[in-house]
Amino acid sequence: MMNTKRRTVGAAAALWLGLAASSAQAATASVCIGEDQATAVMAVAMPDILTAIGKTCESRLPPNATLRAGLPALIGRYNAEAGMAWAPAKDALIKIGGDALKNVDADLLHPLIGTLIAPMMTKNVKPSDCPQIDHVAGLLAPLPAHNSAQLVVAIYQLVSDARKQSLPFTICQAGR
Protein backbone atom coordinates (compact mmCIF):
# COMPACT_ATOMS: atom_id res chain seq x y z
CA MET A 1 0.00 0.00 0.00
CA MET A 2 2.75 2.46 0.97
CA ASN A 3 4.72 1.60 -2.18
CA THR A 4 1.65 2.34 -4.34
CA LYS A 5 1.12 5.70 -2.63
CA ARG A 6 4.77 6.59 -3.12
CA ARG A 7 4.60 5.66 -6.82
CA THR A 8 1.37 7.66 -7.25
CA VAL A 9 2.93 10.74 -5.66
CA GLY A 10 5.97 10.25 -7.89
CA ALA A 11 3.76 9.96 -10.94
CA ALA A 12 1.88 13.12 -9.97
CA ALA A 13 5.14 15.01 -9.54
CA ALA A 14 6.44 13.74 -12.87
CA LEU A 15 3.21 14.71 -14.64
CA TRP A 16 3.30 18.21 -13.13
CA LEU A 17 6.95 18.60 -14.09
CA GLY A 18 6.22 17.33 -17.58
CA LEU A 19 3.33 19.74 -18.03
CA ALA A 20 5.39 22.60 -16.63
CA ALA A 21 8.26 21.76 -18.96
CA SER A 22 5.82 21.56 -21.85
CA SER A 23 4.42 24.97 -20.93
CA ALA A 24 7.92 26.44 -20.91
CA GLN A 25 8.70 24.80 -24.24
CA ALA A 26 5.42 26.08 -25.68
CA ALA A 27 6.90 29.54 -26.03
CA THR A 28 9.32 28.19 -28.62
CA ALA A 29 8.00 24.94 -30.03
CA SER A 30 4.75 23.55 -28.64
CA VAL A 31 4.26 19.81 -28.48
CA CYS A 32 1.79 18.68 -31.11
CA ILE A 33 -0.68 15.87 -30.42
CA GLY A 34 -3.22 14.43 -32.79
CA GLU A 35 -6.86 15.41 -32.64
CA ASP A 36 -7.78 11.85 -31.67
CA GLN A 37 -5.28 11.97 -28.79
CA ALA A 38 -6.60 15.35 -27.64
CA THR A 39 -10.14 13.96 -27.74
CA ALA A 40 -9.01 10.98 -25.68
CA VAL A 41 -7.36 13.22 -23.05
CA MET A 42 -10.55 15.27 -22.86
CA ALA A 43 -12.72 12.15 -22.59
CA VAL A 44 -10.60 10.87 -19.69
CA ALA A 45 -10.67 14.25 -17.91
CA MET A 46 -14.38 15.03 -18.48
CA PRO A 47 -15.80 13.20 -15.42
CA ASP A 48 -13.53 15.22 -13.12
CA ILE A 49 -14.14 18.46 -15.04
CA LEU A 50 -17.91 17.99 -14.78
CA THR A 51 -17.64 17.13 -11.09
CA ALA A 52 -15.59 20.28 -10.41
CA ILE A 53 -17.99 22.49 -12.37
CA GLY A 54 -20.95 20.83 -10.65
CA LYS A 55 -19.50 21.66 -7.22
CA THR A 56 -18.80 25.25 -8.23
CA CYS A 57 -22.27 25.74 -9.67
CA GLU A 58 -24.42 23.65 -7.34
CA SER A 59 -25.67 26.56 -5.22
CA ARG A 60 -26.18 28.82 -8.25
CA LEU A 61 -28.50 26.54 -10.23
CA PRO A 62 -32.06 25.31 -9.76
CA PRO A 63 -32.53 21.68 -8.68
CA ASN A 64 -33.64 20.62 -12.19
CA ALA A 65 -30.52 22.04 -13.89
CA THR A 66 -28.43 19.66 -15.98
CA LEU A 67 -25.39 20.20 -13.73
CA ARG A 68 -27.44 19.21 -10.70
CA ALA A 69 -30.17 16.74 -11.60
CA GLY A 70 -28.49 15.34 -14.70
CA LEU A 71 -24.90 15.34 -13.46
CA PRO A 72 -24.70 11.74 -12.15
CA ALA A 73 -25.92 10.34 -15.49
CA LEU A 74 -23.55 12.58 -17.46
CA ILE A 75 -20.58 11.56 -15.35
CA GLY A 76 -21.54 7.90 -15.73
CA ARG A 77 -21.54 8.21 -19.53
CA TYR A 78 -18.19 10.02 -19.49
CA ASN A 79 -16.68 7.42 -17.15
CA ALA A 80 -17.59 4.70 -19.67
CA GLU A 81 -15.96 6.71 -22.48
CA ALA A 82 -12.90 7.45 -20.31
CA GLY A 83 -12.16 3.75 -19.99
CA MET A 84 -12.17 3.30 -23.76
CA ALA A 85 -10.10 6.45 -24.32
CA TRP A 86 -7.31 5.63 -21.89
CA ALA A 87 -4.75 4.13 -24.32
CA PRO A 88 -4.54 7.12 -26.70
CA ALA A 89 -4.78 9.56 -23.76
CA LYS A 90 -1.82 7.84 -22.10
CA ASP A 91 0.23 8.15 -25.31
CA ALA A 92 -0.65 11.85 -25.56
CA LEU A 93 0.34 12.55 -21.95
CA ILE A 94 3.68 10.84 -22.40
CA LYS A 95 4.25 12.89 -25.56
CA ILE A 96 3.31 16.13 -23.78
CA GLY A 97 5.32 15.31 -20.67
CA GLY A 98 8.42 14.25 -22.57
CA ASP A 99 11.40 12.87 -20.68
CA ALA A 100 9.80 13.55 -17.28
CA LEU A 101 7.18 10.86 -17.95
CA LYS A 102 9.16 8.29 -19.92
CA ASN A 103 10.03 6.21 -16.85
CA VAL A 104 6.73 6.60 -15.00
CA ASP A 105 4.43 3.59 -14.91
CA ALA A 106 1.83 4.90 -17.36
CA ASP A 107 -1.05 3.23 -15.54
CA LEU A 108 -0.29 5.38 -12.50
CA LEU A 109 -1.07 8.44 -14.62
CA HIS A 110 -4.67 7.40 -15.25
CA PRO A 111 -6.20 8.46 -11.94
CA LEU A 112 -4.19 11.68 -12.00
CA ILE A 113 -5.33 13.04 -15.36
CA GLY A 114 -8.64 14.45 -14.25
CA THR A 115 -7.25 15.48 -10.89
CA LEU A 116 -4.65 17.65 -12.62
CA ILE A 117 -6.51 18.78 -15.73
CA ALA A 118 -9.89 19.59 -14.14
CA PRO A 119 -8.54 22.38 -11.90
CA MET A 120 -6.67 23.91 -14.85
CA MET A 121 -9.84 23.93 -16.94
CA THR A 122 -12.21 25.10 -14.22
CA LYS A 123 -10.10 27.58 -12.22
CA ASN A 124 -11.63 30.59 -13.97
CA VAL A 125 -15.25 29.48 -13.67
CA LYS A 126 -17.17 32.10 -11.74
CA PRO A 127 -20.53 31.41 -10.12
CA SER A 128 -22.04 33.98 -12.50
CA ASP A 129 -20.94 31.73 -15.41
CA CYS A 130 -22.94 28.77 -14.11
CA PRO A 131 -26.25 29.36 -15.93
CA GLN A 132 -24.46 29.57 -19.30
CA ILE A 133 -22.29 26.55 -18.53
CA ASP A 134 -25.40 24.62 -17.50
CA HIS A 135 -27.05 25.60 -20.77
CA VAL A 136 -24.06 24.25 -22.73
CA ALA A 137 -24.06 21.07 -20.60
CA GLY A 138 -27.75 20.63 -21.42
CA LEU A 139 -27.03 20.97 -25.14
CA LEU A 140 -24.18 18.45 -24.90
CA ALA A 141 -26.08 15.97 -22.70
CA PRO A 142 -27.91 14.15 -25.52
CA LEU A 143 -24.69 13.72 -27.52
CA PRO A 144 -22.55 10.61 -27.16
CA ALA A 145 -19.66 11.29 -24.78
CA HIS A 146 -17.10 10.88 -27.57
CA ASN A 147 -18.81 13.56 -29.68
CA SER A 148 -18.89 15.94 -26.72
CA ALA A 149 -15.15 15.42 -26.17
CA GLN A 150 -14.54 16.09 -29.87
CA LEU A 151 -16.57 19.29 -29.65
CA VAL A 152 -14.60 20.51 -26.62
CA VAL A 153 -11.35 19.85 -28.52
CA ALA A 154 -12.67 21.76 -31.56
CA ILE A 155 -13.53 24.72 -29.31
CA TYR A 156 -10.08 24.49 -27.70
CA GLN A 157 -8.56 24.75 -31.17
CA LEU A 158 -10.66 27.80 -32.03
CA VAL A 159 -9.84 29.55 -28.76
CA SER A 160 -6.13 28.76 -28.88
CA ASP A 161 -5.89 29.89 -32.52
CA ALA A 162 -7.76 33.12 -31.75
CA ARG A 163 -5.71 33.96 -28.65
CA LYS A 164 -2.35 32.96 -30.17
CA GLN A 165 -1.35 31.84 -26.68
CA SER A 166 1.52 29.58 -25.78
CA LEU A 167 -0.29 26.49 -24.53
CA PRO A 168 1.27 23.24 -23.28
CA PHE A 169 0.30 21.54 -26.51
CA THR A 170 -1.28 22.15 -29.86
CA ILE A 171 -3.43 19.95 -32.00
CA CYS A 172 -1.47 18.73 -35.02
CA GLN A 173 -2.76 19.76 -38.39
CA ALA A 174 -3.81 16.87 -40.63
CA GLY A 175 -0.83 15.10 -42.15
CA ARG A 176 1.62 16.35 -39.54
pTM: 0.75
Model pLDDT, residue 142: 93
Q: What angle do CA 121, 124, 125 make, to 5 degrees?
A: 90
Angle at which helix 145-163 crosses helix 35-57, to 10 degrees, equals 100
Q: Among 146, 47, 37, 49, which Cα is nearest to 89's? A: 37
Decide: helix, strand or coil at residue 27. Answer: coil
Model pLDDT, residue 15: 45
Q: Among 133, 142, 152, which Cα is nearest to 53's? A: 133
pLDDT (tens digit, 9 = 90+) per residue, 12-51? 444 444 444 444 444 334 788 889 999 999 999 999 999 9
Q: Which of the four pLDDT bands, split at 50, 70 and 90, describes residue 161? A: low
Q: At 35, which helix (H) or strand (E)?
A: helix 35-57
Q: At 32, which helix (H) or strand (E)?
A: strand 31-33
Q: Which of the four pLDDT bands, split at 50, 70 and 90, describes residue 168? A: low
Alpha helix positions (H), 58-144 = 71-97, 99-102, 106-122, 130-140
